[in-house]
């Protein structure tokens, strides 16, 4: 029997045996490589997350706060993100992103082998780590599931996850997940949020050059930031446009026109800056009820009571009113200078500059240089020249007041590149607060808690307990009217001494004068102290305090007679809400911040309805309203009589002019204003409620009531005067319950 190689020459036999051995060796080697590869894949895939999680995946979403008209007034988020659908992203954005990041996105299966091989070769050649060449799917896998470190181990895991994602999801789903997840600088995640942040418009409205600018950011959001590095952003944008041209996505003419466009940003105004004190109150409430994670990542929808238009008017009124106060008291100087703290001018950033300045707004600015008749200043990305005319009220020369490095307070009169104008103002520390409440619903429509939230988060509307002065007196007269007294009953305004447990108490009137026998109506309108104390003493101070509590005042009020003149400390919100009882016919409606809260899917988590309680009779409330109307028509708030609306209210001034108040109302809304210093020092001589607080209230109410039906106060019942009826006490009154 012949063998296989029997008829072959010896050399050929040897050659064939060698080939066989080589083939066998190659098979063994390939098997080993395949086995090793499988083993490596098993090792790298053992700790991979389950891609099935993506089906239930919902990115961290922004909680949004809306005003009564559905306008966004604030947000809470760890990541600024607006979740959008595939159709929300326009074709120009999709094509721009794919052209620069992943040209074969619609053709590959999650991994572009040739790109990875090329990138790996270049990295090995340069001695670096594997980087670049990631598809959109691989970037999505890395952003969702993996760490950002650059290593072969992470790259393999990234590729494995990308393949799984491609098997389970469509290309449009993958693109949408990526577009919602990617970081695009300045705390912004996703292209919808980026479009709103950089251009103040939804992604659907992006132009070619804008879409190209955003599409260039994923590579390095910080390096290509159009805010911090506009030159780099421009080059990167043009690279994206050229890539789109090469891919045939745009025409040559479109590319030229887009490249010729300058980088024009319209940065979104931070919605939280509109009503920061109000938003902060909401945040504390929500976090206490739902937890920090749910509030900052859960995408809640919070419908609030605020009115954006009234809030703007309230803020402007307070800031303008404080500026007028500062000008009345002259230039004080004492400016902070950053050069004394070894700070370089070019590197300085003030907290005010985190928000875009607004026209007619106020901002702290840095003096960069001083000339004989002017000073150059900077605030954020804006510069301006402060001329002598812009500081005329100080009656001083600019070089005598300012020096480089000073932090000055200015009002923005015009806001445009190259045309920014400001006026010099002053921030000596005076603060103000304003609250306005809708009478019918109890909804808080506007809240100002101070001059500058960036510098002080303390809310003077809700957290500051201040002596309310004569604005407390309406509770005294309400108690008297509710117990049978009439507005035209008389009382003696004359010197009196009250005997108290701590000794004799001899009060005086604001003007140090006495009017003799006067009616209760006039005593309240002219804010006479002695008649008020006599009424309070006759009823008992505990009775007066009980009425104040019935009106909703929850602050602790000690049972001392001077409380009748406002020595007790109450918050502005409490006092304003209490006054709304008068135009509400004696009904108290608890003030409300929130009307409804829903979760991410729209399920209602809570819905708030008015909490209503009877306080005094409608007759008592109407009589008191008419008496407080007299304060405006002929009393201490007579300046407001020029406003052609039905208005009523009460001024308040404390000893040494430390606190100035005006709480007033129309038939539809109640507004309270407070002005003072945090440390309870004097505002200055004659800075009463009528002078320091009332003008702010009037400025706001003019805007709030303009073009609206103000309504009418309900008329009080006909009053039958009692002949010779008077409310009086002897010159030396009996002992009060207790007194200071």
Residue positions annotated with a catalytic role: 101, 470
The β-bridge partners of 364 are: 409
Q: Strands 490-493 and 604-607: what pairing?
A: unpaired
For residues 657 and 683, the answer to whether their CB atoms sit within 8 Å is yes
For residues 274 and 311, the answer to whether their CB atoms sit within 8 Å is yes
Count Cβ atoms within 10 A of the Cβ of residue 703 and give its class: 0-12 exposed, 13-18 middle, 19 or more buried.
middle
For residue 47, the SS3 value is: coil
- DSSP states of 454-478: TT----TTTT--EE-GGGGHHHHHH
Question: Quick one: which H or E segment has residue 37?
Answer: helix 10-45
- DSSP states of 131-147: -S---HHHHHHHHHHS-
Q: Report d(CA 292, CA 312) in Å as an integer.
A: 29
Count Cβ atoms within 10 A of the Cβ of residue 642 and give its class: 0-12 exposed, 13-18 middle, 19 or more buried.
exposed
Short-list 571, 573, 552, 580, CA closest to 669: 580
Q: Report d(CA 629, CA 665) in Å as an integer.
A: 9
- C-alpha dist (Å) from residue 362 to 427, 627, 667: 10, 38, 32
For residues 433 and 461, the answer to whether their CB atoms sit within 8 Å is yes
Helices (H) and strands (E) in the chain, counts: 21, 26
Q: Report d(CA 206, CA 89) in Å as an integer.
A: 9
- DSSP states of 286-314: HHHHH-HHHHHHB--EEEES--HHHHHHH
Count Cβ atoms within 10 A of the Cβ of residue 113 and give its class: 0-12 exposed, 13-18 middle, 19 or more buried.
exposed
Q: Report d(CA 593, CA 65) in Å as an integer.
A: 11
Residue 297 has what DSSP assignment? Answer: H
What is the number of other CB atoms lying within 10 angstroms of the CB of residue 141? 29
Count Cβ atoms within 10 A of the Cβ of residue 679 and give its class: 0-12 exposed, 13-18 middle, 19 or more buried.
exposed
For residues 610 and 590, the answer to whether their CB atoms sit within 8 Å is yes
Short-list 169, 100, 192, 177, CA closest to 140: 177
Q: Report d(CA 148, CA 693) in Å as an integer.
A: 56
Question: Quick one: which H or E segment has residue 101?
Answer: helix 91-101
For residues 285 and 593, the answer to whether their CB atoms sit within 8 Å is yes
- DSSP states of 364-412: EEEEEEEETTEEEEEETTEEEEEEGGGGGGGTS-HHHH--TTBEEEEEE
Q: Report d(CA 678, CA 659) in Å as an integer.
A: 10
Q: Report d(CA 423, CA 201) in Å as an integer.
A: 32
Q: Report d(CA 233, CA 492) in Å as an integer.
A: 78
The β-bridge partners of 66 are: 72, 303
- C-alpha dist (Å) from residue 179 to 90, 140, 189, 217, 572: 12, 9, 9, 12, 46
Cα dihedral 181→187→188→189 (10° resolution): 0
């Amino acid at each position: 029997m012949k063998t296989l190689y029997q008829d072959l020459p010896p050399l050929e036999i040897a050659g064939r045996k060698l080939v066989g051995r080589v083939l066998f060796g190659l098979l063994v080697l390939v098997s080993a490589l395949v086995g090793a590869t499988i083993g490596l894949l098993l090792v790298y895939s053992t700790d991979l997350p389950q891609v099935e999680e993506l089906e239930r995946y919902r990115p961290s979403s922004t909680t949004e706060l809306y005003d009564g008209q559905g306008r966004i007034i604030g947000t809470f988020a760890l990541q600024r993100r607006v979740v959008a659908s595939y159709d929300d992203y326009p074709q120009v954005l999709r094509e721009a992103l794919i052209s620069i990041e992943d040209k074969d996105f619609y053709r590959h299966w999650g991994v572009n082998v040739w790109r990875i091989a090329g990138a790996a070769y270049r990295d090995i050649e340069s001695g670096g780590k594997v980087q670049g060449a990631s598809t959109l799917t691989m970037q999505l896998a890395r952003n969702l599931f993996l760490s950002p470190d650059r290593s072969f181990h992470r790259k393999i895991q990234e590729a494995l996850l990308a393949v799984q994602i491609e098997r389970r999801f469509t290309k449009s789903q993958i693109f949408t997940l990526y577009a919602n997840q990617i970081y695009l600088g300045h705390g912004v995640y996703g292209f919808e949020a980026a479009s709103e942040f950089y251009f103040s418009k939804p992604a659907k409205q992006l132009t070619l050059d804008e879409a190209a600018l955003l599409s260039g950011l994923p590579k390095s959001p910080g390096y290509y930031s159009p805010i911090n590095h506009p030159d780099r952003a421009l080059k990167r944008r043009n690279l994206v446009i050229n890539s789109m041209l090469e891919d045939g996505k745009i025409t040559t003419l479109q590319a030229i026109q887009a490249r010729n466009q300058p980088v024009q940003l319209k940065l979104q105004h931070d919605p939280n800056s509109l009503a920061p004190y109000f938003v902060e109150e909401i945040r504390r409430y929500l976090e206490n009820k739902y937890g920090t994670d749910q509030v900052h990542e859960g995408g809640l929808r919070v419908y609030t009571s605020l009115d954006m238009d009234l809030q703007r008017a309230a803020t402007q009124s307070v800031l303008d009113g404080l500026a007028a106060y500062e000008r009345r008291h002259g230039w004080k100087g004492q400016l902070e200078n950053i050069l004394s703290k070894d700070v370089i001018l070019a590197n300085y950033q003030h907290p005010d500059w985190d928000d875009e300045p607004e026209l007619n707004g106020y901002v702290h600015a840095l003096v960069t240089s001083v000339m004989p008749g002017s000073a150059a200043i900077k605030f954020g990305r804006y510069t301006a020249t402060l001329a002598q005319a812009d500081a005329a009220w100080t009656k001083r020369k600019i070089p005598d007041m300012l020096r480089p490095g000073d932090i000055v307070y200015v009002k923005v009169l015009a806001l445009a590149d190259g045309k920014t104008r400001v006026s010099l103002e002053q921030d000596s520390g005076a603060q103000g607060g304003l609250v306005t409440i809708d009478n019918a619903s109890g909804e808080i429509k506007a809240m100002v808690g101070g001059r500058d939230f960036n510098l002080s988060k303390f809310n003077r509307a809700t957290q500051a307990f201040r002596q309310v002065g004569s604005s407390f007196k309406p509770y005294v007269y309400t108690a008297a009217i509710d117990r049978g007294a009439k507005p035209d009953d008389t009382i003696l305004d004359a010197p009196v001494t009250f005997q108290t447990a701590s000794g004799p108490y001899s009060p005086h009137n604001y003007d140090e004068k006495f009017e003799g026998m006067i009616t209760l109506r006039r005593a309240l309108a002219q804010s006479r102290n002695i008649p008020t104390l006599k009424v309070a003493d006759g009823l008992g101070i505990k009775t007066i305090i009980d009425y104040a509590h019935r009106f909703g005042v929850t602050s602790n009020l000690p049972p001392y007679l001077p409380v009748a003149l406002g020595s007790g400390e109450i918050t502005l919100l409490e006092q304003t809400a209490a006054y709304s009882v008068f135009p509400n016919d004696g009904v108290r409606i608890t003030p409300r911040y929130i009307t409804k809260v829903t979760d991410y899917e729209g399920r209602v988590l809570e819905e708030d309805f008015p909490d209503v309680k009877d306080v005094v009779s409608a007759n008592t409330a109407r009589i008191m309203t008419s008496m407080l109307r007299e304060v405006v028509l002929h009393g201490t708030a007579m300046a407001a009589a020029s406003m052609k609306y039905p208005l009523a209210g009460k001024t308040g001034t404390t000893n040494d002019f430390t606190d100035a108040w005006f709480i007033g109302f129309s038939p539809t809304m109640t507004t309270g204003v407070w002005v003072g210093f945090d440390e309870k020092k004097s505002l200055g001589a004659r800075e009463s409620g009528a002078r320091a607080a009332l003008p702010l209230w009037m400025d706001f109410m003019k805007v709030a009531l303009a073009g609206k039906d103000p309504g009418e106060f309900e008329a009080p019942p006909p009053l039958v005067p009692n002949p010779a009826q008077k409310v009086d006490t002897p010159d030396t009154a009996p002992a009060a319950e207790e007194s200071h």
